Amino acid sequence: MERVHRIDLKLLRYFLAVAEELHFGRAAARLNMSQPPLSIHVKELENQLGTPLFVRHSRSVALTHAGKILMEESRRLLFSANQAFARVEQIGRGEAGRIELGVVGTAMWGKMRPVMRRFLKENPNVEVLFREKMPAMQMALLERRELDAGIWRMAIEPTEGFTSLRLHESAFLVAMPEDHPLACCPAIPLDALRNEYFVTMPSIHTDWAFLQRVCQKAGFTPMIVREVMEPQTVLAMISMGIGITLIADSYAQMNWPGVVFRPLEERIPADLYIVYEPQQATPALTKLIDALIR
């Protein structure tokens, strides 16, 4: 069975100073200590390893073969240890680390994009892994601690033990073909969409579950003629005149040929929230949250 060594890194530092100086007096001065305790520490290391590391002469010392090997290995070990300690200190200050961040696709546009760009530029040692998931899946992953935080719309009632903070206000707009009769209106009453055909994403998508409830409260159920998986496909179909949709205002920042966006007379909120467990928040996550809500 291979022996497990439990040697203090401090002993390796003492040994390395003597090995590089080949003189106990100079090594002691370099370490800002007196020579007798240094000699005792080196002897302790030799006893632990069961082999001499130095050949001692009256005025100098020389490395044994084992000592030469240990000097090479000590340099590597101490360098790796210093790197590891520095990394941990950076993580403790929020200057390094990894953040598993759940997002909905529409969150990646709008006000969040420039803030995230600046955060990543200012914190190059913080790795942010974006995982595009529906809100219900994000919440499940948060509960299993497979995500550090999740970002989705109208997350006003997270699971007990979790906190939600609003990142910024947003609203749903009506997206329609550019030649649609309602395109000339500066704002559209929701009831005016009663007889329109809708192109949507699947009803399991929380945005659409929420929007369907809003429409039903207004007295109608949207007539859905197409369901597709991606919002850009929704907008492509709208440009072809297949129908209209309700979509977050972040998409209006991009150019979609053949599509126009109009606000509703009564605002439907699409505010973006970040959801996380405060007791599990790492310094890097806290730093990111501060940047996003600033």
CA-wise closest residue to 251 among 153, 173, 184: 173
Q: 143-180 pLDDT, tens per residue?
A: 999 999 999 888 888 889 999 999 988 899 999 999 99
Q: Is the pLDDT of residue 1 over 60?
A: no
Three-state secondary structure along the chain?
CCCCCCCCHHHHHHHHHHHHHCCHHHHHHHCCCCHHHHHHHHHHHHHHHCCCCEEECCCCEEECHHHHHHHHHHHHHHHHHHHHHHHHHHHHCCCCEEEEEEECHHHHCCCHHHHHHHHHHHCCCEEEEEEECCHHHHHHHHHCCCCCEEEEECCCCCCCCCEEEEEECCEEEEEEECCCHHHHCCCECHHHHCCCEEEECCCCCHHHHHHHHHHHHCCCCCEEEEECCCHHHHHHHHHCCCCEEEEEHHHHHCCCCCEEEECECCCCECCEEEEECHHHCCHHHHHHHHHHHC
Q: How sure is the predictor about 84, in pLDDT bands with cuts at 50, 70 and 90?
A: confident
Q: What is the pLDDT of residues 35-47, one digit of tens each?
A: 999 999 999 999 9
CA neighbor of 196 nearest in space, from 165, 175, 169, 217? 175
| Ordered structural domains, the chain, with CATH | 7-79 (1.10.10.10), 99-167+270-291 (3.40.190.10), 170-261 (3.40.190.10)
Short-list 254, 270, 280, 282, CA closest to 167: 270
pLDDT tens digits along 190-202:
999 999 999 998 8
- Between CA 152 and CA 135 the distance in angstroms is 6
The pair of structure tokens assigned to 8 is 């203090």
Contacts of 237 (CB under 8 A, 6+ apart): 199, 226, 228, 243
What confidence score (pLDDT) does residue 227 get? 92
Do residues 261 and 183 touch, judged by C-beta distance below 8 A? no
Q: What is residue 112's predicted lDDT score, i.e. its pLDDT?
A: 84
Residue range 255-279: mean pLDDT, rounded: 94
- C-alpha dihedral, 174 to 179 to 184 to 188, nearest 10°: -20
- 102-135 confidence digits (pLDDT tens): 998 778 777 888 899 999 999 998 889 999 888 8
CA distance 145 to 148: 7
pLDDT in the model for residue 95: 66
Q: How far apart are CA 244 and CA 235, in angstroms?
A: 8
